[in-house]
Amino acid sequence: MESITEDLKTRIISRDTDEVGICFINTREKNNSLSSEGVYTFKELSKLSASFIKDTSSLCENFDSVIGSNDGSNYGARENPLYSGLWVAQGMLGKSATKNLGKRILLFTNNDDPFENADPVTKADMRRTTIQRAKDSQDLGISIELYPMSRPGEEFNLNIFYKDMITMEDDELSNFMVGAEKRFEELKARMRKKLFQKRVVRKITFTIANGTSIGLGTYAMVRPATTGKYEWLDSTTNKPVKSERALICTDTGAIVTESTKRFTHYNSKRVLMTREELAEVKKITDVQVRLLGFKSIACLKDYHNLRPATFLYPSEEAIKGSTCLFIALHRSLIRQKKFALAFHGNSTSPHLVALVPQEEIVNEYGQVQPPGMHMIYLPYAEDIRQPEKINLSKGGVEIAAKEHIDKAMALIKKLHLREFTVYDIQNPALQRHYSNLQALGLQEDTVEDVEDCTLPDEEGMKRPSIVAVVQAFKDTVYGADHDQEEAAAEAERAKGSVTAQKRKAAAEVATKESEKYNWRQLALDGELKKLTVVELKYYLAGKKLPLSGKKEILIERILNDLGM
């Protein structure tokens, strides 16, 4: 329940249009549309809200008193909570007000034999009807995902029932439990992060040739994570403040309408232009993306990526048949190991782009990587630096010794992050922002702690193998006595100048003198004004606060530091 609550907190940010319902089976109380025993519909299918999450969170503590669990021994002979639960869940998904692209039932259970208390004849009938109910749901486009949870000291046995319910072959059983545990851990890890849904940025038209075009949707795979904009509120009504702009005549003070024309100086004359004419002058082309040709994928280098690529996927909204033509082009590029070279035109920064096909990757759990194309923004010649030319102008290229290069390569390989993706690192400032919103929306007393994944792994860097390879690199490149030399130089810098030494000594004296006074008690009794300026400066110097100003200013500065 705690994991589900965390998932809801993430989902309301990353997929706020999703509809979610919660239903329990094998319960003491009942609450469902079929009036079946052992089934409790806690939340009907609906979009997430603060009250939805708050109710779910409170249920974690009050589950036994509100709903309660039951092992099934007290139900009627023909009662089948699992069958009824699937039926209720199917009905909830069928009554959805929105057209969902995907409908899923996530089944969390630690009971590998849901009919263990039934007699053999009833048990066989329950197995048959429940398996048929699961197949009926799948025929309606509803996928059932099983998350088995082993009890302490017992391993969840799929062979008893769930192997037949989710239609699993014998060779898949060995990997399913490992995969299910991995999926559950990934689910819990994802719950601890506020993720972002990949949304269509805009629709574009890809012109293949005269009269032949493809409608595409563009997706931003990587984008800056920013907090929401500030909204100004009226201090009395607490309503949003709307800003308005008006042009006022400097002579009469009257409000004048904004002119629809602009002008530019040409040959000491003003040439008037309307906004439409100005936009037309700035426009480079009407074509959004136009095919220029094809090149071998080997021609595309890593350093040709100027910025994160845009993912392209066909869209039938603007141009019918776009999917069919896109698939044909996609398959042809993969087969011939080529990419499409195209012109991407816009009014600000037109670019040559490379359309690189991406193959679909599917494993036993579903799609891992979708098919499509990445639009890579190619650099102009001046965007590519020529370090050799720069170094030649300075008198030659200085090449590191082979031993230095080998030690550096060993260090890089040792510090390599395996299976790293950019989605593992979340923006800590944004995560704290969402934690504050969560505490405010759910009226929580404390703000959830946020793990800053951008900080270096200090414990990992202290591993003997890492320390050894770092030390070997330092000894080879900088010399074995580098640490001692650095320590000596740091000690010299710490001594500082004569003025700095005097200032440090004065601060030590002030701190020592300041400890003789009970400053808080003097402030409470109003006795600070009886002290001399020199005595007041003992406190300020010890706290490294400014010493300038009259006596009243010094007292005010002390009171502010004491928080009084």
The answer to whether the CB of 237 falls within 8 A of the CB of 320 is no
- Residue 176 has a CB neighbour count (10 Å cut-off) of 20
Question: Cα 230 from chain centroid?
Answer: 21
Give the separation between CA 540 and CA 561, rounded to whole angstroms.
Answer: 9
Distance CA(215)–CA(217), nearest Å, equals: 7
Is the separation of the CB atoms in 95 and 30 below 8 Å?
no
Tokens of 213: 């075009």
Q: How far apart are CA 369 and CA 357, in angstroms?
A: 12
Burial of 304 (0-12, 13-18, 19+ CB in 10 A): middle
Q: DSSP letter string over 487-510?
A: HHHHHHHHH--HHHHHHHHHHHHH
Alpha carbon 289 to its chain centroid, in Å, reads 30
What residue type is assigned to position 115 of the chain?
F
Q: Which residues pair with 106 in a beta bridge?
A: 145
Alpha helices in 29-169 (DSSP H): 50-66, 81-94, 120-139, 162-165
What's the per-residue H, E or C state across 192-254? CCCCCCCCEEEEEEEEEECCEEEEEEEEECCCCCCCCCCCCECCCCCCECCCCCCEECCCCCC
Residues 6+ apart with CB under 8 A from 504: 496
Q: How far is CA 37 from the centre of its chain?
A: 41
Under 8 Å between Cβ of 59 and 66: yes
The Cα 164–Cα 499 span in angstroms is: 84
Please list the alpha-helical segments (H only) found in 283-386.
322-336
What's residue 376's pLDDT? 93
Q: Which residues pair with 25 in a beta bridge?
A: 39
Q: What angle do CA 264, 269, 274 make, to 5 degrees?
A: 40
Q: Delineate the domains of the chain, giving CATH numbers in brackets.
A: 2-191 (3.40.50.410), 289-385 (2.40.290.10), 389-478 (1.10.1600.10), 498-562 (no CATH)
Q: Are 58 and 10 in contact (CB under 8 A)?
A: no
Distance from the Cα of residue 150 to its chain's centroid? 30
Query: Do residues 341 and 295 touch, judged by C-beta distance below 8 A?
Result: yes
The amino acid at residue 85 is G
Q: Check: CB of residue 337 under 8 Å from CB of residue 356.
A: no
Contacts within 8 Å (CB) and 24+ apart, 194-199: 194/10, 194/13, 194/14, 194/426, 194/430, 194/431, 194/434, 195/10, 195/13, 195/14, 195/423, 196/14, 196/223, 196/225, 197/14, 197/15, 198/311
Half-sphere exposure of 195 (CA within 13 A, CB side): 19
Per-residue pLDDT of the chain (564 residues; tens, 9 = 90+): 777 887 787 777 767 778 889 999 988 888 988 888 888 999 888 888 888 888 888 888 888 888 888 765 555 556 788 888 899 998 888 877 665 567 888 888 888 888 887 888 888 888 899 989 889 888 888 888 888 887 888 888 888 888 888 776 666 666 665 555 565 666 555 544 555 555 677 888 999 988 889 999 998 877 776 666 777 888 888 888 888 888 888 888 888 776 666 777 888 888 888 878 887 877 777 778 999 999 999 999 888 887 889 999 998 888 888 999 999 999 999 999 999 999 998 766 788 999 999 998 877 656 678 899 999 999 888 877 766 565 555 555 677 888 999 999 999 988 877 777 766 777 787 778 878 887 887 777 888 788 887 888 888 888 898 889 988 898 888 887 777 777 777 776 666 556 667 777 777 888 888 888 888 888 888 888 888 888 888 888 888 788 887 888 888 888 888 877
Over residues 473-523, the pLDDT tens digits come to 988 888 877 777 777 777 766 665 566 677 777 778 888 888 888 888 888
Q: b/e string for 405-422 if b means 16 or more Cβ within 10 A?
A: eebeeebeeeeeeeeeee
List Cβ neighbours of 365 (8 Å cut-off, separation of 6 or more). 179, 183
Token pair in block for residue 490: 């740091």
pLDDT at 366: 62
CA contacts within 13 A on the Cβ side of 85: 23
Give the integer Cα–Cα distance in Å for 359 and 333: 10
8-state DSSP, 530: G
Token pair listed for 423: 């989605």
Computed from CA positions of residues 385, 391, 392, 397, in that sequence, does the dihedral angle turn out positive or negative?
negative
pLDDT at 191: 47
* pLDDT at 494 (0 to 100): 63
Question: Residue 197: its pLDDT value, please?
Answer: 53
Dihedral sign, CA of 94, 96, 102, 104? Answer: negative
